[in-house]
Amino acid sequence: MGTSATSVVEILAILILLQSVFFCCNGANFNGSCIKIEREALVKLNASLDINNSYPLLSWVGDDCCRWEGVTCENITGHIVKLRLVLASFQRKVSLHLGNLSNLLYLDLYGKDYQMEIDSLHFASSLKYLHMEGVLLGKCDNCLQSINMLPSLLELHLSDCPLSITGHVSHVNLTSLEVLCIAGNTINSTIPSWLFNISNLQHLDLSYSAFRGFLSTEIGNLNSLTFLDLSHNSLEGNVPKTLNKLCNLSRLHLEWNKFSGEISGPFGNSSSCIKKSLENIYLFNNLFSGSLPNNLGQFKCLKFLQLSLNSFWGPIPVSIGQLYNLEILDLSQNSLHGKVSELHLSKLKRLSKLIMSGNSLVFDIDVKWVPLFQLTWIELSSCKLGPRFPQWLKTQRSIRYLLMSNASISDSLHGWFENISSNTVQLDLSYNQVFGTLPNLRKFNQSAVIVDYYRYISLKSNKFEGSLAHFHSDASILDISNNFLYGQIPQNISEMMPRLHLLSFSNNYLNGESRSSLKILSVHSNKFEGIWDYNVGSYVIEKKGYGENVLLYVKGIELEYTKDVDEWPKGHEKVGNMRKDDSMMLWFYSGLAMGFVAGFVGVCSILYFKDSWRYACFQLVDRVYDKLWVTVAIKANQLKGKLHRNKYEGNAREGFKVARDSSRC
């Protein structure tokens, strides 16, 4: 027993000794710094670049390149394993040869928004992660071939590199590739077939790349995919049925294309395995038609379902009420019709956004029904909700967007309505027949929303009546036009609505005078008279703002205020049927018009009689036009890749945006 224990101790001692010898020998090789041949490769790279004002290359000094900014070495061997360069000011062609970095695993050349152009590439075969976002690769003839020679590559990120991937690839060597992101490139071709041979792909992003044509049935070969983004292209035709073979697919982005036909092929098969994995489906802004699949309720993992801006028709299947994980349901701007009952919404306990506007849907929900969800976004404009306000609304305490325009509502605003709308950023009840006095909308909880938000409230085209004497609101934009409001505008309207910037109360029966600091004002079709002191600054009042009013005169902030409506301010006296300042302005604009005509005729005459001038002028116009056209085209393409992917590219629906950005390359 003792002999055996002694032998184990001796073996351990020998192993420790051998390891120490290995460390010492290895340390002798790189002497506390990086490998010499690898340092020379970095020095050569540094010398080939324009390093003026470049970071981090200005810090590449000293013998130990493992201490250089952006360089990471392996602790034991000293080999460079990670290289990260922010290409801040390289504005020249570069031949990137890093083959001597034989142990390099991670290379990040971030050149976004800069003009680094690479004309040739050569990497070590050990590379696993390659990030080259924003680097110009359009004239790199061997780039695709060089990258294809990296059998260990796991992630490839080539977003916003004017890249051509349409060349013929006889054999795909990227057998280990799991992530491929080439978004934001103006490729302008069909999706190359060799992409569908990378069988280990899990994340594929081809968005914003001007792909066109049909989506190949070979998409079904990528059965390891969990994320597929083909959005913002010009793909057309039917979505192939082979999509239902992607049993691991979690997120599918096909929005902003020209896909057409029914979606029952890839999604309507009850035996399809895709229904067990899909969490997010984005098909909005396409040309899809037909009815919604009846088996939608079988997609139990579904969280986001966005089918807006298509031509779907027919009723909403009741099975959709079985999607208990659903958070966003967006069926807006289609041709759906039929009834929506509590069965469609009964089990949607996690639902936060219900968006069905722009359809001919009739909500027939029991007045005693209490939903399981708490909505932040309700958009049901053009659906029939009335004649009474839906009673289930009063159970909602977190609404930020409440849009129910043209919803056939003929009812008064109940007391509970002020409570549910107190946190709204947008409130739209326009084009209904809501009656009674204006509600008190001053209970706005400003801490519940971002400070930069403008609060928008539209109560236009209803049957509200009464005066504004006791009306309070925290709205930034308020539209109460086309109602039956009467009486005088309160002198302290700015105190009653302290956050107000834009106000429209046209087509009412209001009158009186007011002092206001509003920026945009619409007052036409009322009974105002006298002088308004209106601090418009650099803004202008709507031109029709004077229509159907009496002696309404709006002064700028630079004039002194007077309450005497019978006496115009000095310099603005009436002359006959016209004020003095109006006649002066008439002469001014008349002279301005005549001067413009004279100058235009003079220039045209010179160009007509002087051939050399005419030729030079048109040549200049052509050059300016060409330069503007190219500049606009480039900037439009860059801007297109940066747009917030929300439904209308405006106020992004933050839930969708956060979820989408989290998986972007």
Half-sphere exposure in the Cβ direction for 204 (13 Å, CA): 23
Question: Looking at residue 149, what is its pLDDT?
Answer: 86
Q: Which amino acid is at 588?
A: F
Q: Which residues pair with 554 in a beta bridge?
A: 532
Banded pLDDT at 535 (limits 50, 70, 90): very low
Q: Distance between alpha carbon 650 and the CA centroid of its chain, in Å?
A: 7
Find the Cα–Cα–Cα–Cα dihedral 447, 453, 454, 456, rounded to 10°.
-80
- C-alpha–C-alpha distance, residues 348 and 320, integer Å: 9
Confidence class for position 593, pLDDT limits 50, 70, 90: confident
How far, in Å, CA of 63 to CA of 526, rounded? 82
Domain boundaries, given as residue ranges, for the chain: 23-91+98-152+162-173, 599-660
| Residue 45 burial (C-beta neighbours within 10 Å; 0-12, 13-18, 19+) | buried
Termini Cα distance of the chain: 61
Reported as a pLDDT band with limits 50, 70 and 90, residue 659 is very low
Per the model's pLDDT, the better-predicted residue between 403 and 3 turns out to be 403
pLDDT digit string, tens, across residues 608-625: 666 556 656 665 665 565
Give pLDDT tens digits for 332-385: 999 999 999 999 999 999 999 999 999 999 999 999 999 999 999 999 999 999
Most confident of 222-236, 442-456, 572-586: 222-236
Cα 477 to Cα 456: distance, rounded to the nearest angstrom: 5
Above 60 in pLDDT, residue 28? no
What pLDDT band is residue 113 in, cutting at 50, 70 and 90? low
* Helix, strand and coil in the chain, % to nearest 5: 25, 20, 50
Residue corresponding to tokens 């202008």: 540
pLDDT value at 410 more than 80: yes
User: For 528, phi and psi rounded to 5 degrees?
Assistant: -70, 150
Beta-carbon count within 10 A of 561 CB: 12
pLDDT score at 522: 62
Strands 426-428 and 515-516, by their bridges, are unpaired
Q: d(Cα 324, Cα 350) in Å, to the nearest integer?
A: 7
pLDDT digits (tens, 9 = 90+) for 448-476: 444 445 789 999 999 999 988 878 888 88
Give the chain's radius of gyration (CA, Å). Answer: 34
Q: Which fold has domain 23-91+98-152+162-173?
A: 3.80.10
Whether 74 has a pLDDT exceeding 70, the answer reads yes
Measured CA to CA in angstroms, residue 394 lies from 342, 367, 389, 582, 602 at distances of 15, 11, 9, 54, 70
Q: Note the pLDDT of residue 227.
A: 98
Q: What are phi and psi of 330, to 5 degrees?
A: -125, 105
For position 398, what pLDDT does the model report?
A: 93
Q: Of 17-26, 96-105, 274-283, 307-316, which gets the smallest average pLDDT?
A: 17-26
When pLDDT is cut at 50, 70 and 90, the band that residue 302 belongs to is very high
The residue written with tokens 């000794």 in the block is 17
Q: 129: which strand partners?
A: 106, 155
Residue 615, amino acid: Y
Following DSSP, what letter does each residue of 586-634 receive, concatenated?
HHHHHHHHHHHHHHHHHHHHHHHH-HHHHHHHHHHHHHHHHHHHHHHHH
What DSSP string describes 427-452?
Answer: EE--SS--EESPP-B----GGGS-TT
Task: Show the CA angle centred on residue 371, arms to residues 370 and 375, nearest 5°.
Answer: 130
**Is residue 237 a contact partner of residue 215, using CB atoms and an 8 Å limit?**
yes
Tokens 């801006």 belong to 309
Amino acid identity for residue 67 in this structure = R
Residue 550: band (very low, low, confident or very high) from pLDDT cuts 50, 70, 90: very low
Question: Which of 67-76, 309-318, 460-469, 549-558 is predicted most confidently?
Answer: 309-318
Q: Which residues contact 565 (CB under 8 A, 6 or more apart)?
A: 513, 529, 530, 531, 551
For residue 356, give the nearest of 326, 339, 381, 323 by alpha carbon.
Answer: 381
